[in-house]
Structure 1
Amino acid sequence: MTRALIPFSATTLALLAVPCPAVARDYGQHGTVWSIAEPDLLEQIRARLARLEASGETAKLNAALQRRTVAKVQRPDPVPGLAPATTSRSWTFDPTITVDADIKDARGIVIIARGTRVNPLDTVPLRSPLVFLDGDDPASLDWAAATFGKRHPKVILVSGAPLALMKARKLRIYFDQGGTLVRHFGVKAVPAVVEQKGRVLMVTEHALKPAPARAS
């Protein structure tokens, strides 16, 4: 049997035959060397808090936070984007929802199947109108009291001081924090009223003052 030979040049063979020793050198020390020291973050925080406590800053911060919290409760941030109604308008709001998953009772029996359309008004009617008001507008408050007083409306402010008005008006008053309700019903101006009409809700923005006349 003839073996195949791979030709090597003399130079290649010579390179392969020469060993390559590993060389290690000590280059000495250049410059100053410090040990690694990482500060303890928790210890820094504790020290900072201790200094604040000793200087009285902690008490000042707590007092300032308490004042801001009380101020927010007494006068929450007004709902942005609302204006006094200059034109009355009404529309219907259908609260019907489509159930996206089976609703089961405690025994696992399906009581409402997925895909069923459910109108909450069929089981929980809106017995009192929802009246959205600017709490800083006394005329709106007087109008609501005169118009809906005997129907025990749920007065919901979009601006103003609810606690002070509760005390002054002897009413239970709510506040639409963040404008969740007015966005849900599509309210753009106040005063606005939400009432039940059959199986839908009627939403009405009431213009208490006529719109300013346009210059011809």
Structure 2
Amino acid sequence: MTALIKKYQPKDLQRLPAATENKKFLVDLTYTLNRNIPDGQGGILYPKGYSFNPLDYVNLSSILVVIDGSDRRQVEWFKDSPYADDFRCRLLLSGGDFYDLIMDLGRPAFYLSAEIADRLKLAAVPSVVVQQGNKMLVQEILVPDKETQKESTGEDK
């Protein structure tokens, strides 16, 4: 049973390539209803076509960090980052064995689904996602090869 748990990967796991440059962009989470939402009393609470941005109503204090757990450079980058010790960080994996990574890092990790990757417009890893106003700020971070010895803070120069 433990072997099955160790090797589990969901069918909708979204694999992403390694970032080739540091990049930042904003994502608008505004959603438009594709059907009527009933009010439970025979009426319509929200009509089809109604648009709303959930970030107009909630503040997300968590930080999403997405890495490929099978890429040792990205795992080491995460360990050396300020996010590794930040209780607000939610670690998402676009690859690798979550069980081994959980044991190695001593923290929970979850697999990245295609739905989340699509909604947040994630295209490369590692990525750090935080709320900025009523949008989500996505930072793709270049983790260089050790030979190049470039800094990989995630900040644009």
Same fold (TM over 0.5): yes
Secondary structure in 2 aligned to 1:106? coil
Distance between the aligned counterparts of 1:173 and 1:208, measured in 2? 20
Q: Which residue of the other structure, out of 169, 175, 180, is the alignment partner of 2:105? A: 169
The structure 1 residue matched to 2:90, chosen from 132, 135, 154, is 154
Percent identity for Structure 1 against Structure 2: 26
State the TM-score, normalizing by the size of structure 2: 0.73
CA RMSD of aligned residues (A): 2.8
Name the structure, 1 or 2, with higher relative contact order (CA <8 Å, separation 6+): 2
Q: 1:67 to 1:131 in 2, by over 3 A?
A: closer
2:91 is paired with a residue of what secondary structure?
Answer: strand
AA partner of residue 122 (structure 1): D
The CA deviation at 1:174 is: 0.2
Alignment check: 8 A CA contact 1:91 1:204 kept? yes
State the structure with more CA Rg: 1
Cα pair 1:130 1:155 within 8 Å, conserved = yes
Report whether the alignment pairs 1:123 with 2:57: yes
**TM-score of the pair, normalised by structure 1:** 0.56
> Offset of 1:76 from its aligned partner?
5.8
Q: Tell me the residue number matched to 2:153.
A: none
| 8 Å Cα contact 1:93-1:202 kept in structure 2 | yes
**Structure 2 unaligned blocks of 5 or more:** 149-157
Q: Please give the alpha-carbon distance, in whole angstroms, between the structure 2 residues aligned to 1:159 and 1:180.
A: 15
**Partner Cα distance (2:49, 2:115) in 1:** 26
**C-alpha separation between the residues in 2 aligned to 1:102 and 1:161?**
41
CA offset digits 1:22-65 (Å, max 9, x no partner): xxxxxxxxxxxxxxxxxxxxxxxxxxxxxxxxxxxxxxxxxxxx
For the pair 1:196 / 2:131, whether they are aligned, the reply is yes
Query: Once the 2 structures are TM-superposed, how far is the Cα of residue 141 of structure 1 from its aligned partner?
Result: 2.8
Structure 1 stretches lacking a partner, 5+ long: 1-65
